[in-house]
Structure 1
């Protein structure tokens, strides 16, 4: 059983924490996660890169659901877990914060040393000319072209999606890039797509300088995040985790706190407020 002050002591003992976060940091901001406490999918797996790029109907379905889901996702605000980890940086103990989330809530809470491993949902990228536009701008354009869809509502789903079913997605108009006519895609890493090498290399560079790893709100079932645990094990640096349920890294952990991130990390808020 994990001692009550284990996490506080872990932070006290280390000066350069490599922090790796996942969906569990953002659930209290109203953004659902993908997996249950056993690390299994709660719903159908997200769209793959290959399907999105290869099938027009898949793009229509994705963007129609996103048109509805973005209205809530785009209004999400940081919770105490994000603020606590921003405090960790404020007190000088964060080497880097590597997040698997695409919501930019760590930055909104004040964290500056952040690597968005899986990209950011507030940008839309042209797969032809690499032009990027703000998601809010694209939302306005989609709404203009599909006014009737704005009247629909659906339950919120992970990463700006919505559980919109029973409609004919073939009627949804997806704008093309106004510069080159290319396919527009969220500037995030889809399943089946590779994480940009520069993100991986930058994170590994920070890991070499770290003296410990803290995992917050991730089951690490996706290899793109788990690879950094493997690197930490090779570097023989201690690893602690805060997560409700099983993680892929359980056998490598010094200890795990099975609690919500905002509760387990609350002591950092007090630390930052101290004189």
Structure 2
């Protein structure tokens, strides 16, 4: 264990309430691309704005075409050592909440109870009617799309959309309030795999630090908030977290 890893272990051991905040970097090790990085998805496909999605059937059709064309990446992804290490800390009672910018459902797949996970940007593994909030499973929608090329619609007449937060869409108020409360109650805030440039989500690490919590940033590359952190580790997430928590083969299949 390196000095930095040992220091992180000591901070976790000393903490009573840990909040883990995750970004795209934790999931790239599971094969899910970082959409915002150079060469990433958004550099090749112009983001669809929420208001345009609502206004145009053709734009909705294009959005669903993109979804079904790329969905195999999400379906084939599995939690990696980083996800499983966090799940172990949750089981040990150290981590009270996982606040995530990711939409890939990998924290749930790692065995973390859904009530411990706060999804700031939603979830791409299912869809919702924006009017009546009926839930639709992606597999069912894909089959209908492949059968006749129809994009999803709801029986109530409402617009169906993946349960993610799109560009131009308001952040989910309930989840933001939950994340704020968890942040203000923690004594260790561990930011993992986030470039910390997407606000308002990236404001939570500073909120924690200003409230007296220790702030640790684990990311492959430096971030603009590194100067505010008590500890910065620039390295691959899975191996670092596996070392810090003492991840075993049994942990990798969950408990």
Fold-level match, TM-score > 0.5? yes
The CA deviation at 1:59 is 1.5
Question: In 1, are the aligned partners of 2:19 and 2:189 still within 8 Å (CA)?
Answer: yes
Please show how residues 70-85 of structure 1 align to structure 2 within 5 Å: 70-85=71-86
Question: In 2, are the aligned partners of 1:80 and 1:262 still within 8 Å (CA)?
Answer: yes
Please show how residues 23-172 of structure 1 align to structure 2 within 5 Å: 23-36=24-37, 43-44=44-45, 46-112=47-113, 113-146=116-149
Aligned equivalents of 2:141 and 2:123: distance in 1?
A: 14
> What secondary structure does 1:265 align onto?
helix
Question: In 2, are the aligned partners of 1:20 and 1:97 still within 8 Å (CA)?
Answer: yes
Question: In 1, are the aligned partners of 2:128 and 2:162 still within 8 Å (CA)?
Answer: yes
> What secondary structure does 2:200 align onto?
helix
Question: In 2, are the aligned partners of 1:127 and 1:183 still within 8 Å (CA)?
Answer: yes
The CA deviation at 1:12 is 2.1
Question: In 1, are the aligned partners of 2:191 and 2:205 still within 8 Å (CA)?
Answer: no
The C-alpha deviation readout for 1:153-209, integer Å capped at 9, x for no partner, is xxxxxxxxxxxxxxxxxxxx31321x1122111111112111211111111222222
The C-alpha deviation readout for 1:223-263, integer Å capped at 9, x for no partner, is 03212123213312111011011323222111211111101
Aligned equivalents of 1:233 and 1:268: distance in 2?
A: 22
Aligned equivalents of 1:271 and 1:139: distance in 2?
A: 37
2:220 maps to 244
Question: In 1, are the aligned partners of 2:79 and 2:106 still within 8 Å (CA)?
Answer: yes
Aligned equivalents of 1:88 and 1:213: distance in 2?
A: 13
2:12 maps to 11
Question: In 2, are the aligned partners of 1:34 and 1:43 still within 8 Å (CA)?
Answer: no
The C-alpha deviation readout for 1:20-64, integer Å capped at 9, x for no partner, is 001111111111002349xxx755553221222222222121111
Structure 1 residues 251 and 55: alpha-carbon distance in aligned structure 2, compared to 1, 3 A threshold: farther
Unaligned runs of 5+ in 2: none
> What secondary structure does 1:70 align onto?
helix
> What secondary structure does 2:32 align onto?
coil
Question: In 2, are the aligned partners of 1:67 and 1:143 still within 8 Å (CA)?
Answer: no
1:164 maps to none
Question: In 2, are the aligned partners of 1:87 and 1:268 still within 8 Å (CA)?
Answer: no
- For normalisation by structure 2, the TM-score amounts to 0.87
84-93 or 261-270: which moved more?
261-270
4+ residue runs over 6 A deviation: none
Alignment: residue pair count = 244
The CA deviation at 1:4 is 4.9
Structure 1 residues 215 and 184: alpha-carbon distance in aligned structure 2, compared to 1, 3 A threshold: same
